[in-house]
Chains A and B, each alone.
Chain A
Amino acid sequence: MSAHRALHPGAWIAWATGTAACAFVTTDPVYLLVLWAVSWFVYAACRVPEPTARSFRIFLVAGVVTLLVRTALVFLGTVTVSNTVAAALEGLRLATILVIFGTFNAVTDPFGVVRLAPRRFHEPALAAALALSIAPRTVTSVQRVREAQRLRGIRVSPLRSLPALAVPVLENGMEDALTLAESMDARGHGRGRRTRYRPQGWTPAAVVTAAAPALAAAAFFWAAFGDWAELHPPTSPLGWPDADGWLVAAALLPALPGLLPRGER
């Protein structure tokens, strides 16, 4: 459906790595906020059809939960405004990385990534792909089991039915993984010659997708190690976060793949 599908999966790996690297070196909410917006925009512009795209929402929720848990941990020790804010900012950084990862999951087919791996690394790559796709697969699985329960007239109260839900979902997950591995084996993945159906090349769009976040990450690392901009807002005492125009512009770069005109990919 979307031409984005044809984008080389490696380009999206590079996109996610570069964008996450930007988030990794800063706790400044200004840049992190921009990265959230960028992730959302790219997700909106480039997502593949359901159910993979659902994983964005899952990672969004996971990110918010992470942020809350990281902040709540402060309340185990001495609570001051300073260390609460510091913890919240660290949580925000983690949440940002999760959201970026959610976008990555939503815009690319995780199994397309497996195809990139050299033959001898096929098995670890398969394991990685399974791990990557655990969120969307679990969601589909939960939906299926819920529906089955409802059809059988089992009253679905979220808490009580949890054990009844968990077992089939886990079972489903295992089965899915086995089926996938077997089917890939049967198709000759991992041994011998591999044929490629519609090989994906490094189109200009793929190069832009990979290069823009790399440029942004370079700017952020330069700022982090060259120390020409404050990447960590003062929390003790509390102060306004610094915002550098260049770094804001750099954080916006990963949005470029979402701006590429459709159909020319």
Chain B
Amino acid sequence: MPRLRTLLVGLALAAPTFTSVLAAPVPACAGETGPRGALVVDTGPRVLRLCVALDAASVSGIHLIELAGRQHGLQHSFGFGGQAVCSLAGVGVDGGDCFGEYPEYWGYWRGDGRGGWTWASSGAGSATVGDGDVDGWVWGTGDSGATHGRPPRTRIDTVCATPEPDPEPSSEPSPTNGGANGSNGGGPAEPSPADRPADGKERKDPDRPESSPSEAPGDADLRAASGGSLAASSSGPPPALYLALVAAGALVVGGRIRLRRRGS
């Protein structure tokens, strides 16, 4: 009997290991058509992930936004001599003072190549974005990487999953009136209703209005990578959470049984 229980608890311990092996990411093929970078724009209520074809081996962070404006119609405006970002996707400051709504401003993050983010140490005008790089912009408060909101984990292969340079519709904001040339007069680049569900569900955040609760919980990046065209991710708890709960429950019950057996 004790051996059986030991075995059961042992299995409960080993279960997460196996499932994590099963859930290992399917590597997505990178595009074979010229250098590409990814741009993540997190306005708070929604997250845009854009695959941007670069027009040079490396461009500046500012130029990446301009390219995203041309290719995806991302509304944007710059200030301080074109070196600072004032507004993106209709969120931000109208006018040239990009810190006009301080403490809220557009924070600049650089992808670390593994899906994580580091707080940019230089301005977007002097930052270089090469093939496979990921740039992130988050509207919010906080003066450093420790306090400023951080974009959801994103890898280049989840955003630029399909080989054709034409962006997949699911990640495109499909602007109605966004100024492709960087003027801020165009108004917010709202996605068309058909595209709405695909946008804004990247962050695992129950508070975000546009997240779709019907989506099965799952590691967004991994599913997007294996799904190919789906660059957006769902909100909801990660699958390992359930495994952790099951394992913790097994341990608690196992502990109870042991205590009772000892007669205390």
Inter-chain CA distance A209–B251, complex, in Å, is 17
Interface residues of A in 212-265 (CB under 8 A from B): 227-228, 230, 234, 236-249, 251-253, 255, 258-259, 261-262
Known: A245-B16, A259-B6. A239 touches B258 (CB 8 A): no
A258 cross-chain contacts in B, Cβ below 8 A = 254-255, 258
- Cβ–Cβ contact B114 & A252, under 8 A: no
Inter-chain CA distance A234–B236, complex, in Å, is 13
Inter-chain CA distance A205–B3, complex, in Å, is 17
Inter-chain CA distance A37–B248, complex, in Å, is 5
A36 cross-chain contacts in B, Cβ below 8 A = 248
Binds B, one of A27-35, A121-129, A143-151, A174-182: A27-35
- Cβ–Cβ contact A40 & B17, under 8 A: no
- Cβ–Cβ contact B13 & A45, under 8 A: no
- Cβ–Cβ contact A34 & B248, under 8 A: yes
B3 cross-chain contacts in A, Cβ below 8 A = 261
- Residue in contact with A255 in the complex, picked from B13, B150, B204, CB distance below 8 Å: B13
What's the A-B contact tally at a CB cutoff of 8 Å?
133
Any chain B CB within 8 A of the CB of A44? yes
- CB closest residue in chain B, given A50: B264
Known: A36-B248, A248-B16. A240 touches B235 (CB 8 A): yes
Inter-chain CA distance A239–B150, complex, in Å, is 11
- CB closest residue in chain A, given B249: A37
Min CB gap B47→A, angstroms = 11
Min CB gap A167→B, angstroms = 32
- Cβ–Cβ contact B150 & A44, under 8 A: no
- Residue in contact with B20 in the complex, picked from A30, A41, A45, A245, CB distance below 8 Å: A245
- Cβ–Cβ contact A259 & B248, under 8 A: no
Any chain B CB within 8 A of the CB of A38? yes
Any chain B CB within 8 A of the CB of A43? yes
B114 cross-chain contacts in A, Cβ below 8 A = 227-228
A241 cross-chain contacts in B, Cβ below 8 A = 237-238, 241
Any chain A CB within 8 A of the CB of B149? yes
Min CB gap A39→B, angstroms = 9
- CB closest residue in chain A, given B3: A261
Min CB gap A78→B, angstroms = 11
Interface residues of A in 93-144 (CB under 8 A from B): none
- Cβ–Cβ contact B116 & A30, under 8 A: no
- Cβ–Cβ contact B251 & A37, under 8 A: yes
- Cβ–Cβ contact B6 & A249, under 8 A: no
Any chain A CB within 8 A of the CB of B36? no
- Cβ–Cβ contact B205 & A34, under 8 A: no
B236 cross-chain contacts in A, Cβ below 8 A = 240
Inter-chain CA distance A214–B13, complex, in Å, is 17
- Residue in contact with B237 in the complex, picked from A33, A240, A244, A245, CB distance below 8 Å: A240
- Cβ–Cβ contact A243 & B240, under 8 A: yes
Min CB gap B15→A, angstroms = 9
Any chain A CB within 8 A of the CB of B28? no
Min CB gap A178→B, angstroms = 32
Instruction: Bits for B210-247, please: 1 = Cβ < 8 Å to A, else 0.
Output: 00000000000000000000000001111111011101
Inter-chain CA distance A31–B238, complex, in Å, is 13
- Cβ–Cβ contact A252 & B13, under 8 A: yes
Inter-chain CA distance A239–B220, complex, in Å, is 13
- Cβ–Cβ contact B247 & A252, under 8 A: yes
Q: Which of A228, A242, A261 is most buried by chain B, counting CB atoms within 10 A of its CB? A: A242
- Cβ–Cβ contact B258 & A237, under 8 A: no
Instruction: Bits for B9-29, please: 1 = Cβ < 8 Å to A, else 0.
Output: 110011011011101000000
B149 cross-chain contacts in A, Cβ below 8 A = 234, 236-237
Instruction: Bits for A38-59, please: 1 = Cβ < 8 Å to B, else 0.
Output: 1011011100000000000000
B237 cross-chain contacts in A, Cβ below 8 A = 240-241, 243
- CB closest residue in chain A, given B243: A248
A242 cross-chain contacts in B, Cβ below 8 A = 153, 238
Any chain A CB within 8 A of the CB of B72? no
- Residue in contact with A245 in the complex, picked from B10, B240, B248, CB distance below 8 Å: B240
- Cβ–Cβ contact A243 & B150, under 8 A: no
Provide a sorted-by-A list of 10 A–B residue pairs whose CB atoms are within 8 angstroms: A33-B248, A34-B247, A41-B252, A41-B258, A44-B255, A237-B208, A240-B206, A240-B237, A243-B243, A249-B16
Ordered nearest first, which 8 A-B pairs have the shortest CB separation? A245-B20, A44-B255, A243-B240, A37-B248, A240-B204, A41-B251, A37-B251, A41-B255
Q: Chain B residues in contact with chain A, CB under 8 A?
A: 2-3, 6, 9-10, 13-14, 16-17, 19-21, 23, 44, 112, 114, 116, 140, 142, 147, 149-150, 152-153, 203-208, 235-241, 243-245, 247-249, 251-252, 254-256, 258-259
